[in-house]
Every structure is written in C-alpha cells, then in structure tokens.
Amino acid sequence: MDQAEKKQQVANAAAEMVESGIKLGVGSGSTVNLFIDAMARRGRAPAALVASSRETERRLRVAGFQVSELGDVGDLDLYVDGADEANKNFQLVKGGGGALTREKIVAAASRRFVCIIDDSKWVAVLGQFPLPVEVIPMAQSYVARQMVRQRGQPILRKGFVTDNGNVILDVHSLAIENPVELETRINQIAGVVTVGLFAQRPADVILMAGDSGIKRLERR
C-alpha cells in the first residue's frame, strides 16, 4: 500500500469515530483533507466544527459544513489532526503545513485528541523532521540565534506567512531526547509564538495506517 492509500484508510477510520452531535476540532494537512471528505461522504453532522486553519475552514465549507469560532463554542469533545512525526509517548512534531499555533490552541481546548498518521511518521526520536517554530517577524534573527544555541540549524520558510501574520523557522538537526523540556525551553524565547512540539499536550489516541491495516494506540 502506498502512502496516499494509507492516508485515505486512516482518514476513513477517523471519520467513523465522529458521532453526530459532538463538538469537533479539525486539524490541517493532506490527511485531514481526506478526513473532511470522508466525514462528508458518511453524512456525519457534528453539532459544531472548529477549524485549525483558514485552509481547513475553506475545505470544510466546500464540503458543506458550517464552521464555528472556538470562542463561540467552548471546549471541544474531539480533535482530529495529522502529524509530521509521532513517538511511543504520543508526543508529536507538527506544523509542516504551518498551522501549528491554531492547531495547538484547538488541541488544548479538546477533551480528546486523535492523531491520524501513516506509518512513515512513526519515529523512535523526534527531530528527523525539521521542527517548525512560528516567530514574530521582527524576532526572526534573534530566535534563529537561540536555535543555533540549542544545536539546531534554523532555516526560514521562504515566502510563507502564517494565518497569524508570522514567519516559520524550520529547525533542522535536532535529536529531541526530552520533548517536554525542549518545548518549555523554546516557548520561553522572546518572539516565539509557538513551537511545533506537542509534548505537554500529546495525542490521546494515534490511528496509524500501515501495510497490515490500521493500528489504534491509546495513551494511558
């Protein structure tokens, strides 16, 4: 099975978990786009839907869903989102699509976070995928210097502006042995809006598509 088929399978499996009447947060990325289409095909009708990016909001509307603001809905029952990397502690690297800040907010406001990945995203140590850091534009070179002090190699994502009007530094060559500690440390750097480490609020469930089908992993 190729990666596209695996993404489709895991998107279908996640759509099965959406019960009518729940308050649902929807992440961003190609796997989530397939999830949106699968939900629409199955006629699932959450009571409220909150999007983690403008692109997801647009796709939800095209698929026929109404989209609410997080502030109008309060806490969410379920958040479904993809990831760029995941480890056995359900900690994630996210932000390949640049939506990390809103994704982190929606994840924080959700009782249950279901992460949908194919098995290429499963790693022993986070950091092979460059770690996205959303930064206030004027702090770009300051934050880049701090990332070098953390032994990372920051590269500005050229021509990209986040939904919040900021820039992204993709930090290469980090072997993230202690994700909670690094998330805390990077969060404290002046000018950092969000780091794409989801370790303090990891996923609760990982649905992972592989050659032998979907694996469902539950965090205890």
Using CB under 6 A, list all residues that contact ligand 5RP. 27-31, 81-84, 94-100, 103
Min dist. Cβ of residue 21 to ligand 5RP (A): 25
Distance CA 154, CA 16 (A): 39
Min dist. Cβ of residue 177 to ligand 5RP (A): 22
Min dist. Cβ of residue 28 to ligand 5RP (A): 4
- Nearer Cβ to ligand 5RP, position 81 or 170? 81
- Nearer Cβ to ligand 5RP, position 122 or 142? 122
- Nearer Cβ to ligand 5RP, position 45 or 63? 63
Which is it for strands 110-118 and 76-81: parallel, antiparallel or unpaired?
parallel
Choosing from 57, 103, 134, 183, the catalytic residue is 103
- Nearer Cβ to ligand 5RP, position 82 or 202? 82
- Nearer Cβ to ligand 5RP, position 103 or 170? 103
Min dist. Cβ of residue 161 to ligand 5RP (A): 14
Min dist. Cβ of residue 149 to ligand 5RP (A): 25
Identify whether 103 is a catalytic site residue.
yes
> What is the SS3 assignment for the chain?
CCHHHHHHHHHHHHHHCCCCCCEEEECCCHHHHHHHHHHHHCCCCCCEEEECCHHHHHHHHHCCCCCECHHHHCCEEEEEECCCEECCCCCEECCCCCCHHHHHHHHHCEEEEEEEEEHHHECCCECCCCEEEEECHHHHHHHHHHHHHCCCEEEECCCCCCCCCCEEEEEECCCECCHHHHHHHHHCCCCEEEECEECCCCCCEEEEEECCEEEEEECC
Distance CA 220, CA 214 (A): 19
CA angle at 101 for the pair 95 and 106, rounded to the nearest 5°: 105
Among all residues, which ones are annotated catalytic? Answer: 103
